[in-house]
Amino acid sequence: MNTIWLLVAVVGVSFLATGALRRYALARSLIDIPNSRSSHSVPTPRGGGVAIVLSFLVALPALVWTDDMAWPMALALLGAGGWIAVVGFLDDHGHIAARWRLLAHFVGAIWALLWIGGMAPINVFGYEISLGWFGYVIGALFLVWMLNLYNFMDGIDGLASVEAICACVGACLVYWIGGHPSLSIPPFVLAMAVLGFLVWNFPPARIFMGDAGSGFLGMVLAVLALHAAWTVPVFLWAWLILLGVFIVDATFTLLRRLLRGDKVYEAHRSHGYQYASRKFGSHRVVTAAIAAINLLWLLPVAILVVMRYLDGATGLILAYVPLVALAFKFHAGELEVTSNA
């Protein structure tokens, strides 16, 4: 019963805080004005993702008190998530140079890894690989990439919110099927924090998430994934599958832009989901389609992996092949002038 009341409180705090942040953004003229790189056409307040940050982080001590989370994990999320949110908040209010943002991202990643113990051994095609100290290097790169790709993918109304909710709810189901339901409470609390914000962010959005919220979500989701792998290594594969839409689109787009010699830190609108939103003329259609892919394709594959019907790496490849095909179809990473989207 305590958990139910906590979930209700998290949704309520997130919803009310988002409304307050919208008024704050309008008063301070924190508005995203549409330009040639935008996927929206109406000036919209930004920074609402801070409501997700506050409602989730405030709930962490309560989760420790109810024995739904240990202090080391809570401190990992409080420190790394809070730090990344502060950096994003400052960047939302005034530009921070890319190199300093990246340095701050690695600081947050290292903090989290020190508390969760780095990366657990990885099982690949039946072989267990213990990474040792190298796991901290791989883990830091993973956390920083997930943080940044979530920023990249927060470009149309509701998408980043829906992705987080689908991934968290999917992880909860995976944990139950995998015999560790106690792990499901933190991601479900995060899903509720995002749900309160989504009421305001669902197309047509009345407020955007901003870097504070998107970076926070990328970091927290990645930390949850690495932490779960210490309980059951296959849970990491499940998380990678559940987050496949974002991972494939962002990585595919980045690689194409790198090969072309673009400045990858500059804003653009060449992600597959952005081309799709322009093709269909609707953010809602694309966001709903990605939710359907998450629930009807990626979640079943993740479940098969956790039930040991598929090896983790095999399941990942199976899950990603159609996503790569969609990236090609929707010209992810192509120059807009060369596309017929």
Q: What is the reported pLDDT for 290?
A: 98
Q: Do 79 and 53 form a contact (C-beta atoms < 8 A)?
A: no
Residue 39 has pLDDT above 80, yes or no: no
CA R_g for the chain: 19
CA-to-CA distance for 223 and 187, rounded, in angstroms? 11
Residue 341 has pLDDT above 50, yes or no: no
CA-to-CA distance for 286 and 313, rounded, in angstroms? 28
CA-to-CA distance for 221 and 235, rounded, in angstroms? 13
Residue 340 has pLDDT above 50, yes or no: no
- The partner residues of 32 in beta bridges, in order of sequence, read 44
- The partner residues of 44 in beta bridges, in order of sequence, read 32
The pLDDT-based confidence of 265 (bands split at 50, 70, 90) is confident
The pLDDT-based confidence of 131 (bands split at 50, 70, 90) is confident
The pLDDT-based confidence of 38 (bands split at 50, 70, 90) is low
Q: What is the reported pLDDT for 141?
A: 97
The overall average pLDDT reported for the chain is 93
Q: What is the reported pLDDT for 43?
A: 87
CA-to-CA distance for 152 and 218, rounded, in angstroms? 10
The pLDDT-based confidence of 42 (bands split at 50, 70, 90) is confident
Residue 37 has pLDDT above 90, yes or no: no
What's the whole-number mean pLDDT along residues 276-296? Answer: 96
Q: Tens of pLDDT along 319-339?
A: 999 999 999 999 999 987 644
Residue 124 has pLDDT above 80, yes or no: yes
Task: Look up residue 261 and give its amino acid.
Answer: G
The pLDDT-based confidence of 282 (bands split at 50, 70, 90) is very high
CA distances from residue 162 to 42, 253, 262, 328 in whole angstroms, order as listed: 21, 21, 29, 23
Q: What is the reported pLDDT for 111?
A: 98
CA-to-CA distance for 158 and 168, rounded, in angstroms? 15
pTM beyond 0.85, yes or no: yes
Which stretch, 11-20, 90-99, 331-340, has highest mean pLDDT? 11-20
Mean pLDDT is lowest, of 77-81, 109-113, 126-130, for: 126-130
**DSSP H or E run through 128:** strand 127-129
CA-to-CA distance for 293 and 245, rounded, in angstroms? 8
Residue 278 has pLDDT above 80, yes or no: yes
What's the whole-number mean pLDDT along residues 36-63? Answer: 88
Q: Do 234 and 252 form a contact (C-beta atoms < 8 A)?
A: no
Direct distance between the N- and C-terminal alpha carbons of the chain, in angstroms, rounded to an integer: 50
Residue 1 has pLDDT above 60, yes or no: no
Q: What is the reported pLDDT for 20?
A: 97
Number of folded domains in the chain?
Answer: 1
CA-to-CA distance for 180 and 199, rounded, in angstroms? 30
Q: What is the reported pLDDT for 29?
A: 84
Q: Look at residues 13, 31, 14 and name the one whose alpha carbon lies nearest to residue 23.
A: 31
**CB half-sphere exposure, 261, CA atoms < 13 A:** 0
According to DSSP H, which parts of the chain are helical? 2-27, 50-65, 71-93, 98-116, 134-153, 159-177, 185-201, 210-231, 234-242, 244-260, 272-280, 283-293, 299-306, 312-329
Angle at which helices 244-260 and 134-153 cross, to 10°? 90
Q: Do 29 and 45 form a contact (C-beta atoms < 8 A)?
A: no
CA-to-CA distance for 171 and 36, rounded, in angstroms? 37
Q: What is the reported pLDDT for 77?
A: 98
In the chain, % of residues over pLDDT 90 = 83
Residue 165 has pLDDT above 90, yes or no: yes
Q: What is the reported pLDDT for 338?
A: 44
Q: Do 333 and 254 form a contact (C-beta atoms < 8 A)?
A: yes
Answer positive or negative: Cα dihedral of 167, 57, 228, 182: negative
Residue-number span of the structural domain to which 307 is assigned: 2-338
Q: What is the reported pLDDT for 36?
A: 58
